[in-house]
Amino acid sequence: MSRVIARNEWRRLFAQPLAWVLLAAVLAVLAYFFLLTLQGFLGLMPKLAGMPSAPGVTDLVALPLERAIASIALIVAPLLGMRAIAGERQTGTLALLQTSGTSGAGIVLGKFAALCGFFVVLIALALAMPASLAIGTQPDWGRIATGAFGLIVFAAALSAIAIAASAFTRHAVVAAIVALAINLVLWMLDAGARHEGVSSAFINYLALPTHLEPFLSGIVASVDVVYFALIVGVALTLAARRLDAERERG
């Protein structure tokens, strides 16, 4: 049943103008950023040519673009996920899904799969820009692929947070605000602690950049994969339990 929900959610997602507008706007911004970084790289090439271990196109163009994708995903995920369940609740279709015998977990997983699919498309289209530079350069495909994988699990965590926020609210706008607030807190948690002179391994572990940066550096560590998996698991579990409790109350 989750597959059916995921397929229907995917179709509905792209049947609405919001997904297309966001996709076009994000790719336009990323293309502009890509051209700026490429121009800067071309300007530095004469200086880099004389350096023995100079950074290449991967360090100066591809990886900054991947960081830009991560920053934009913090905003895009709440906007796309805000109607995942809150929208169904407002239109009355959530009750139909629940009375059809679909469990809360099935509904949540279907919504989650559709959102993750959108981000896979977005990341693939965005990374096609630095990949095109292979015509005249030699990108580090291993680091780019590792960064892409990190962006996918990062986006999956943000999607799960957005779905959980949507499950606990009745209004899509409120869900978007709550999800965005959680994303920003997790994104800036460690930086804020350092600014206040607080040094804590636990706070550092909770921060999203702590676990995204190793992927962008070409490192796949189990601790980082587990971190994103925990966020996904906790958020989706809370959302599923919320829906099951709501169905029991009638």
pLDDT at 163 over 70: yes
Both ends of the chain: CA-CA distance in Å? 21
Which residue has better confidence, 159 or 84? 159
Confidence (pLDDT) at 1: 58
Q: 176-201: per-residue pLDDT in tens?
A: 999 999 999 999 887 655 555 556 67
Can you tell me the distance from the alpha carbon of 154 to that of 54, in angstroms, rounded to the nearest whole number? Answer: 29
Confidence (pLDDT) at 74: 95
pLDDT at 158 over 90: yes
Q: 112-149: per-residue pLDDT in tens?
A: 999 999 999 999 999 999 999 888 788 889 999 999 99
Q: 39-56: per-residue pLDDT in tens?
A: 988 887 777 666 666 677
Confidence (pLDDT) at 168: 92
Q: 96-108: per-residue pLDDT in tens?
A: 777 777 788 888 9
Domain that holds residue 204: 2-249
Number of domains in the chain: 1
Q: What is the pTM of this model?
A: 0.91
Query: pLDDT over 70 for what percent of the chain?
Result: 91
Q: 69-82: per-residue pLDDT in tens?
A: 999 999 999 999 98
Q: How confident is the model at residue 60 (pLDDT cuts 50, 70, 90)?
A: confident
Nearest to 137 by CA among 31, 209, 238, 54: 54
